Amino acid sequence: MEIRIGIANTGRELSFESAESAESVRTAVTTALDSGAASVAFADAKGNSYIVPTAGIAFVEIGTEESRRIGFVA
């Protein structure tokens, strides 16, 4: 699924594909924000790691886990 993270005072977004479930990403972000942690870490589908400071998070958009359909729908 695709994850997009908006960083405050920055014109670009961090966007990557993740193999984690939507619930695990949501839990990691809310736990980090609620506990006052300095950062939250993510891993993408290719094995890259991202560490995002929680103070700079403007938004987190978590895509759907469903695969897109190909072709025409009647």
**What are 24-60's pLDDT values in tens digits?**
999 999 999 999 999 999 999 899 999 999 999 999 9
Which residues are 14's β-sheet partners? Answer: 5
pLDDT at position 10 is 87
pTM of the model: 0.77
Choose between 1 and 48: higher pLDDT.
Answer: 48
Question: Which token pair is 72?
Answer: 């025409």
Q: Is there a domain that residue 71 lies in?
A: no
Is it the case that residue 6 has pLDDT exceeding 70? yes
**35 located within any domain:** yes
Q: What percent of the chain has pLDDT over 70?
A: 88
Considering the domain boundaries, does residue 68 fall inside one?
no
Q: 58 in a domain, yes or no? A: yes
Count the domains in the chain: 1
Q: What is the pLDDT of residue 69?
A: 64
Q: Which domain holds residue 45?
A: 2-62
